[in-house]
């Protein structure tokens, strides 16, 4: 496991907010673990930040952070209030193609106040989240997407965003797998 200044604080904050949430916590631990493995696909200087963002990516589900009900945005805003670096909050805001779901919810305006990073760190975070299921088991990205649609239901914002979000997530997966293969 990668450890560093941000990672240690991120793990403590995530444990405080999600540590008693069962599957949500198991998912978070496994995504952080996966991100640490994928750290070979990002510049050395970004590894701590990647793993920190992985620990924090779902804190917007924790009751004390809920505001809009859209967890990527609520998590980012909570990190802002706590004084976390803007880049970490922005990675959390935009993880896993959040902008596509935000557009369906009418929350793209607030979400776009966070700069959307493109590149290896944002890709690795999303890929880590999309290859661990909701209970913390490693899965293929296609199984993850099928499970997500099943859990959220056919009329959910996730389902309505799926036709544009899925190609984005599959492109992310291709890029990360290529980087991992040549790392
Ligand atoms: Fe997640």
- CATH architecture of the domain 5-182 equals Orthogonal Bundle (1.10)
> Whole-prediction pTM value?
0.96
Rounded distance from Cα 31 to ligand 1 centre (Å): 7
- Give the span between the Cα atoms of 158 and 101, in whole angstroms: 6
Q: Please list the pLDDT of the chain residue by residue as tens digits (183 residues).
A: 455 799 999 999 999 999 999 999 999 999 999 999 999 999 999 999 999 999 999 999 999 999 999 999 999 999 999 999 999 999 999 999 999 999 999 999 999 999 999 999 999 999 999 999 999 999 999 999 999 999 999 999 999 999 999 999 999 999 999 999 998
**What stretch of H or E contains 46?**
none
- Give the span between the Cα atoms of 169 and 183, in whole angstroms: 21
Angle at 47 between CA 46 and CA 50, to 5 degrees: 85
DSSP three-state, residue 54: helix
Assigned token pair, 38:
């994928």
Rounded distance from Cα 87 to ligand 1 centre (Å): 18
Rounded distance from Cα 103 to ligand 1 centre (Å): 19
pLDDT value of residue 3: 57
pLDDT value of residue 180: 97
Rounded distance from Cα 182 to ligand 1 centre (Å): 26
Rounded distance from Cα 27 to ligand 1 centre (Å): 7
Rounded distance from Cα 129 to ligand 1 centre (Å): 5
């Amino acid at each position: 496991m990668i450890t560093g200044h941000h990672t240690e604080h991120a793990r403590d904050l995530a444990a405080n907010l999600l540590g008693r949430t069962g599957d949500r916590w198991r998912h978070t631990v496994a995504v952080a673990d996966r991100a640490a493995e994928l750290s070979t696909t990002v510049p050395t200087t970004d590894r701590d930040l990647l793993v920190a963002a992985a620990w924090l990516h779902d804190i917007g589900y924790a009751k004390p952070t809920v505001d809009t009900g859209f967890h990527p945005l609520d998590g980012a805003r909570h990190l802002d209030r706590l004084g976390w670096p803007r880049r970490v909050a922005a990675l959390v805001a935009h993880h896993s193609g959040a902008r596509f779901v935000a557009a369906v919810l009418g929350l793209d305006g607030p979400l776009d106040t966070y700069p959307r990073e493109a590149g290896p760190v944002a890709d690795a975070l999303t890929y880590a989240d999309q290859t661990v299921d909701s209970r913390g088991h490693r899965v293929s990205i296609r199984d993850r997407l099928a499970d997500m649609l099943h859990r959220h239901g056919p009329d959910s914002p996730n389902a309505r965003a799926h036709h544009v979000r899925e190609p984005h997530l599959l492109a992310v997966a291709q890029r990360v797998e290529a980087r991992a293969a040549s790392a």
